[in-house]
Copies of this chain bind each other. A is one copy, B any other.
Amino acid sequence: MNRVFLKKANDHKRELLHQVCRPVRTVTFQKDETAFQGLRVQAVDNFSWPIILKPHESVILDFGDHCVGYLHFSMRTLDHIADAPLKFRFSFGEFPLEIEKNPADYQGGLGSGWLQNEERTYTFLPYTTQLERRYAFRYLKIERLEDNTPFAVAFSDMYCDCVSAVTPKTLPSVSIPDNTLRRIYDVAVKTLQDCEQDVFEDGPKRDRRLWMGDLKLQAITDFVTFKNVDLFKRCMYLFAAYPCADGRISCCLFPDSPPHNDPWKLTDYALFFGCSLYDYTQAFNDEEFLNDLYPIAFEQLKITSSFWNEKTNTLDAEFFIDWCPDLDRSVAALGVYSYALTRIGALAKRLQKEEDMAFVAAEQARVKDALMSHYDADRKLFVTPQGQISWHSQIWAVLSGLLPQADAVALLARIKDDATPFTIRTPYMMHCYIDALFAVGEKQAAMAQVVAFWGDIVEKGFDCFPEIFNPQNDFESPYGAPEINSACHAWSCTPAYWIHRYYNEGDAV
């Protein structure tokens, strides 16, 4: 652990901002095949305070928008002294299925503790309290559990003390004439806002962690929206403070006190440290920060270089690339490496590091040869050593910057006609695809993807953009349990970045 960087990370720590959000109505969830996941939210008439629960009753409250924070409320009795303790189950959901699914039936692969429900006993009324755990939710179901207490309980003063490092009040005004894009932009910004906490979290419900891959996308979006530079610098210093034993940047930090890193190593995420440093340096003039972190960024290239396998023309290291079962990542990994060489090489040039620039140039030549060795001239697509054709290989081949523009355009067109099952499964990969389209000048096609993919999410009733979205399957889940999916996930926030570029940088793109 590097104490200098940890101190700088903590120097950039800021108090969170608070915003009160109250329930706006009570609802039920009705079975409806035309609704997302088959559940339609139906308002209950005559909502008013207080919310009254008789024994064994329950209620579902709708807070009107996605909340990240702490539930506060008061309770009192109306018709009888509370002469015995009360027991409630509080079930929080970002979406209806999360509440409707019985936790006892959970079969997912992730820890069931992520299910957002709690039981609480209250000995005396009147009582004002808050729940200790931070929740991410729009809906809250309250069930009264205890027996033999024949009196009604009235809930009042209920609100979520919502927390975030940022507030929409500081957002720049952006003119977005298209209504669909306007709505997508707003939801994207809300997604980013709810993920900006003590660190850039991947998702405020789950996993509440600082992932380098997510940070890279959050940062570029933040730079054109909230401009919360302190939080970005805090996160970068945290990564610098807690590297892996071999010097690689951790793929993920657990931000709690004391922070600690995940032993899992993902080389694309390690390389993205330097890419984010590049993005920040492009957007802001901050020599001190660049000088602090450049050596670590460059070290990631050196480490990656050590994984060369000359026989297979690949890198013998684990890359994330995307959540996509059985994906052969080796060609995409070369594209990522080249992408990072270009950006970290630009920083080397800016800092006049001649030796580093020479290393980068030599590596780029090696990557180019390796990458092209995987190009199948007959099929006119990149094919992995396992014989796999994937969107991922083609997209990262384009993002490598090593292909002539016309070839890159053709490649992106060609993969659309291929029947490969290795297609885009996540908003994260969708971002890479749009990045590639922008890179080759296909701006209209890129914006059409934004509208098609994120517009569909908005149509389905999401308040924020989720970690996973499959238009063909509402129940898609990387964890075998859609109720545990994160419905507000930072890597899905980049439409705000693309919409901003589309409208504000115009032909400069």
Q: Find the B residue at minimum CB distance from A108.
A: B148
Set of chain B residues within 8 Å of A114, measured between Cβ atoms: 84-85
Q: Mark A108-123, 1 if CB is under 8 A from B, else 0.
A: 1111111000111111
Least Cβ–Cβ distance between A34 and chain B, in angstroms? 33
A174 at the interface (CB under 8 A from B): no
Set of chain B residues within 8 Å of A11, measured between Cβ atoms: none
A134 at the interface (CB under 8 A from B): yes
Q: Mark A78-102, 1 if CB is under 8 A from B, else 0.
A: 0001011111000000000000000
A291 at the interface (CB under 8 A from B): no
Majority secondary structure of chain A interface residues (helix, strand, loop or mixed):
loop
Number of chain copies forming the complex: 2
A148 close to B85 (CB less than 8 A) = no
A32 at the interface (CB under 8 A from B): no
B134 close to A113 (CB less than 8 A) = no
Give bound CA distance, A113 to B89, whole Å.
12
Instruction: Find residues 261-284 in chain A having any chain B CB closer than 8 Å to their own CB.
Output: 262-263
A106 at the interface (CB under 8 A from B): yes
Contact status of A111 and B254, CB under 8 A, knowing A118-B121, A133-B121: no
Q: Find the B residue at minimum CB distance from A257.
A: B126
Give bound CA distance, A148 to B85, whole Å.
32
Interface size of A by Cβ–Cβ distance < 8 Å? 38
Least Cβ–Cβ distance between A461 and chain B, in angstroms? 27
A418 at the interface (CB under 8 A from B): no
Q: Mark A149-183, 1 if CB is under 8 A from B, else 0.
A: 10000000000000000000000000000000000
Contact status of A112 and B129, CB under 8 A, knowing A81-B262, A123-B134: no
A208 at the interface (CB under 8 A from B): yes
Give bound CA distance, A120 to B132, whole Å.
10
A124 at the interface (CB under 8 A from B): yes
A318 at the interface (CB under 8 A from B): no
A376 at the interface (CB under 8 A from B): no
Most chain B beta-carbon contacts within 10 A, residue among A81, A121, A126, A127: A121
Instruction: List the 5 closest pairs (A to B, CB-CB), nearest first.
Output: A84-B111, A85-B113, A113-B146, A112-B147, A111-B149
Least Cβ–Cβ distance between A150 and chain B, in angstroms? 9
CB < 8 Å neighbour of A124 from B84, B87, B112, B254: B254
Set of chain B residues within 8 Å of A121, measured between Cβ atoms: 113, 118, 133
A260 at the interface (CB under 8 A from B): yes
12 example contacts (A-B, Cβ-Cβ < 8 A) are as follows A81-B254, A81-B263, A83-B254, A85-B114, A87-B113, A111-B146, A111-B147, A113-B122, A113-B123, A113-B146, A123-B208, A124-B256
B254 close to A112 (CB less than 8 A) = no
A113 close to B262 (CB less than 8 A) = no
A81 close to B260 (CB less than 8 A) = yes
Contact status of A147 and B106, CB under 8 A, knowing A121-B118, A133-B121: yes
Give bound CA distance, A134 to B122, whole Å.
10
Give bound CA distance, A73 to B127, whole Å.
25
Known: A113-B122, A113-B146. 16 other contacts (CB 8 A): A81-B262, A83-B254, A83-B262, A84-B110, A84-B113, A84-B207, A85-B114, A109-B148, A111-B146, A111-B148, A113-B123, A113-B149, A119-B119, A124-B254, A124-B256, A129-B132
Give bound CA distance, A113 to B119, whole Å.
11
Give bound CA distance, A337 to B110, whole Å.
68
Least Cβ–Cβ distance between A123 and chain B, in angstroms? 6
Contact status of A123 and B119, CB under 8 A, knowing A83-B111, A83-B262, A110-B84: no
Least Cβ–Cβ distance between A244 and chain B, in angstroms? 13
